[in-house]
Amino acid sequence: MKIIYEDKDLIVADKPAGMDIVSLGEELSKQYLELRKLERNGLIHRLDKNTSGIILFARTQESLIFFQKQFINRDIEKRYIALATGRIEENKGEIKAAIGRSPKDRTKQKVYLPFEPGAQNQREALTRFTVLKRLASETGDKYTLLEVLPKTGRKHQIRVHLAHINHPIAGDEMYGFKNQPRPEGLSRQFLHAKSIKLKLTDGKEREFESQLAEDLENALSKLYDE
């Protein structure tokens, strides 16, 4: 696990896929003993187990509150790289749809349309995306490489929203469609937390970036520009 940045208040780590955030916090607390005094070892936000990339930990209670407020107030800018299944025609898009827990499977989230029962009790979610490349495999399967900006922070938001527009993330076994294609060698959802821009406790704004994970780079190398 790579540490991208640290100061007296903040640790910016590069989370590997396959490691849940609780285990990640426990591992960090062995190196940074002050994290043991904080709730969830100072974890500021969430990443899914099989999503790689930028994750933040606070080193003091004061800084934990400081950074969490920026998330609550939506002052943080997060960017992800995702490989969507199928060809997305528009170069830019916006998905605005409420998300809540699925009544059929409590481990999953779902989009609630305005006319659905319980929709009024769900939380609005907004995801914006830009097409980076349109790709294809040797067998003719289509994919679209996206930069994604979630403007809200709902659980599984990007995954649920892209599935909602019929372009689930490649390799996503929870929200993907039955028998959907996946690039050769891809063993998890193609979703990477590329960057976070936020204000530090000294008042300066900083942006931290994570290189695309090696397994995702290898999956892309099996695809061709359309």
Question: Residue 191, SS3?
Answer: strand
Sign of the C-alpha dihedral computed for residues 77, 107, 25 and 188 taken in this order: negative
- Looking at CATH, the fold of the domain delimited by 2-225 is given as Pseudouridine synthase (3.30.2350)
Catalytic residue, from 14, 48, 172, 215: name it: 48
Characterize the bridge pairing of strands 98-101 and 109-112.
antiparallel
pTM above 0.85, yes or no: yes
Can you give the C-alpha Rg of the chain in angstroms? 18
Query: Which residues make beta-bridge pairs with 43?
Result: 57
Going residue by residue through the chain (226 aa), what tens digit of pLDDT does each one get?
A: 899 999 999 999 999 999 999 999 999 999 999 999 999 999 999 999 999 999 999 999 999 999 999 999 999 999 999 999 999 999 999 999 999 999 889 899 999 988 888 788 888 999 999 999 999 999 999 999 999 999 999 999 999 999 999 999 999 999 999 999 999 999 999 999 999 999 999 999 999 999 999 999 999 999 999 8
Is residue 9 part of the annotated active site? The answer reads no
Delimit the domains of the chain by residue range: 2-225
